[in-house]
């Protein structure tokens, strides 16, 4: 099914997080907690190149009393997590991305792994799974634009096919003798499901055979059909697609209910992200008073996701110099806020959503030392 627009209406909810309530919290087994986190936002939504899920696991059994949220897990943030007795760190960005060939005290990422294991602290990263989720990072970023409708720029697909198999093979059989021969032969092939129904072609009674099969089974099915010119000439082979998931995917294309000036939009974004400055590239022929109606956005690094989108404004954390020039040449304004500044504020919403999702069974705290490494000076 195709993704339909989501209507975003900014609301402010004030929640008080008191350390007093920590004493009433219970705990969760790590494996149970991981299952609940996957129910909240399935890791299957993550991009294929990403490294998500449980990255560091203390020896089992491992119970979690305190879940610690951070955008980036640096050594300073690790020290804070240990001081606050965290049992599991949820780091939006995976601190382990490229394979580690050894675990020594030589590099800061290796030291993170050592300290986590020595102190029995797990590390979990959702990254692009949270980017794609309907209640995730990009939807949060869109809330800062004002009242608008939103849809994913690149919709996510369901993890599984709607039926068994990746391909469908259809052909017609004229007589009962041929039908029995075909069904008998196909049943010998693994990963094939068979359905049949009567049909009529040119006033001739026939049986239509429909096979759902895997990629591997397809080769055997075609080899069998090639043995009969009659079957092969009437065969249709369809490649099945996984269905699109509603409101789920990378980036967001947002259409405001009412146009605003670029200057007004800049102030809205700065207020939402709690920033004093952003970087702006004016599109050719545009000014600060130019109207903004359609915004294409992507948290983090948005060049690939935003490329080719028709919009008045691109909003992301970072883009390459040449991608900015390309957008500006098309009259598209570009706002860059630095990579993690477009992501970090989501963690406050995440803390509240996870608290409700996990029924307040564990203590969830937000890092106070996590920050973007770049500063305007």
pLDDT tens, position by position, 212-236: 999 999 999 999 888 876 665 578 9
Looking at domain 133-157+247-337, its CATH class is alpha beta
Residue 55 pLDDT > 70, yes or no? yes
Q: How far apart are alpha carbons 72 and 93 in whole angstroms?
A: 6
pLDDT digits (tens, 9 = 90+) for 167-211: 999 988 877 777 888 888 888 999 999 998 888 877 778 888 899
Provide the pLDDT confidence category of residue 14 given band limits of 50, 70 and 90. Answer: very low
Region of 89 on the Ramachandran plot (φ > 0 left; ψ -120 to 50 alpha; else beta): beta
Quote the pLDDT of residue 86. Answer: 98
According to CATH, the topology of domain 28-128+345-366 is 3.40.1390
Give the torsion through C-alpha atoms of 78, 79, 84, 86, to 10 deg.
30
On whether 127 is known to bind a ligand per the annotation, the reply is no
| Domain 28-128+345-366 matches domain 167-239 at the CATH topology level | no
pLDDT digits (tens, 9 = 90+) for 123-179: 999 999 999 999 999 999 999 999 999 999 999 999 888 888 899 999 888 777 778
342 or 233: which leads in pLDDT = 342
Q: What is the mean pLDDT of the segment spanning 354-364?
A: 97
Percent share of the chain, pLDDT over 70: 92
On whether 93 is known to bind a ligand per the annotation, the reply is yes
Quote the pLDDT of residue 181. Answer: 85
pLDDT digits (tens, 9 = 90+) for 61-103: 999 999 999 999 999 999 999 999 999 999 999 999 999 999 9
Quote the pLDDT of residue 5. Answer: 53
Domain spans, the chain: 28-128+345-366, 133-157+247-337, 167-239
Domain at 167-239: CATH architecture: 2-Layer Sandwich (3.30)
From residue 252, how far is each of 4, 68, 143, 147 by CA, in Å? Answer: 12, 28, 11, 14
- Residue 122: which residues within 8 A CB-CB, separation 6 or more? 30, 54, 56, 57, 58, 62, 64, 87, 88, 89, 116
Quote the pLDDT of residue 319. Answer: 98
On whether 339 is known to bind a ligand per the annotation, the reply is yes
Quote the pLDDT of residue 268. Answer: 98
Provide the pLDDT confidence category of residue 47 given band limits of 50, 70 and 90. Answer: very high
SS (HEC) of the chain: CCCCCEEECCCCCCCCCCHHHHHHCCCEEHHHHHHHHHHHCCHHHCCCCCCCEEEECCCCCCEECEEEEECCCCHHHHHHHHHCCCCEEEECCCCCCCCCCCCCCCCHHHHHHHHHHHCCCEEEECCHHHHHCCCCHHHHHHHHHCCEEEEEEEEEECCCCCCCCCEEEEEEECCHHHHHHHHHHHCCCCCEEEEEEEEEECCEEEEEEEEEECHHHHHHHHHHHCCCHHHHCCCEEEECCCCEEEEEEEEEEEEEEEEEEHHHHHHHHHHHHCCCCCEEECCCCCCCCCEEEEEEEEEEECHHHHCCCCCCEEEEEECCHHHHHHHHHCCCEEEECCHHHHCCCHHHHHHHHHHHHCCCCCEEEECCCCCCCCCCC
pTM for the whole thing?
0.84
Quote the pLDDT of residue 3. Answer: 44
On whether 338 is known to bind a ligand per the annotation, the reply is no
pLDDT digits (tens, 9 = 90+) for 232-289: 557 899 999 999 999 999 999 999 999 999 999 999 999 999 999 999 999 999 999 9
């Amino acid at each position: 099914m195709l993704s339909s627009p989501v209507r975003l209406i900014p609301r402010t909810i004030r929640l008080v997080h008191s350390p007093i309530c920590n004493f009433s919290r219970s705990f969760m087994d790590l494996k149970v907690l991981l299952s609940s986190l996957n129910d909240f936002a399935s890791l299957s939504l993550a991009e294929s190149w990403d490294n998500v899920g449980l990255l560091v696991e203390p020896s089992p059994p491992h119970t979690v009393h305190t879940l610690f949220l951070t955008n980036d897990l640096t050594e300073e943030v690790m020290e804070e997590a240990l001081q606050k007795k965290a049992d599991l760190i949820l780091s939006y960005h995976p601190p382990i991305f490229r394979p580690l060939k050894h675990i020594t005290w030589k590099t800061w990422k290796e030291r993170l792994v050592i300290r986590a294991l020595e102190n029995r602290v797990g590390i979990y990263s959702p990254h692009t799974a949270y980017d794609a989720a309907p209640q995730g990072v990009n939807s949060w970023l869109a809330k800062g634009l004002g009242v608008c409708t939103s849809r994913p720029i690149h919709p996510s697909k369901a993890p599984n096919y709607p039926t068994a198999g990746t391909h469908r093979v259809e052909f017609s059989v004229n007589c009962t003798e041929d039908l029995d021969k075909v069904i008998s032969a196909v049943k010998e092939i693994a990963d094939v499901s068979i359905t049949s129904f009567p049909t009529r072609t040119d006033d001739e009674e026939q049986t239509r055979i429909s096979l759902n099969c895997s990629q591997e089974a397809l080769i055997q099915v075609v080899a069998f059909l090639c043995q009969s010119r009659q079957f092969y000439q009437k065969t249709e082979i369809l490649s099945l697609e996984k269905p699109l998931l509603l409101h789920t995917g990378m980036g967001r294309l947002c259409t405001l209910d009412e146009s605003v000036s670029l200057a007004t939009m800049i102030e809205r974004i700065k207020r939402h992200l709690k920033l004093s400055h952003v970087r702006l590239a004016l599109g050719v022929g545009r000014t600060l008073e130019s109207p903004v109606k359609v915004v294409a956005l992507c948290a983090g690094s948005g060049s690939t996701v935003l490329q080719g989108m028709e919009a008045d404004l691109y909003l992301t954390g970072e883009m390459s110099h040449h991608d900015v020039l390309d957008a500006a040449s098309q009259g598209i304004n570009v706002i860059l806020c630095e990579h993690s500044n477009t992501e970090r504020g989501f963690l406050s919403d995440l803390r509240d959503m996870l608290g409700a999702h996990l029924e307040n069974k564990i203590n969830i705290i937000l890092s106070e030392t996590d920050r973007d490494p770049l500063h305007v000076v």
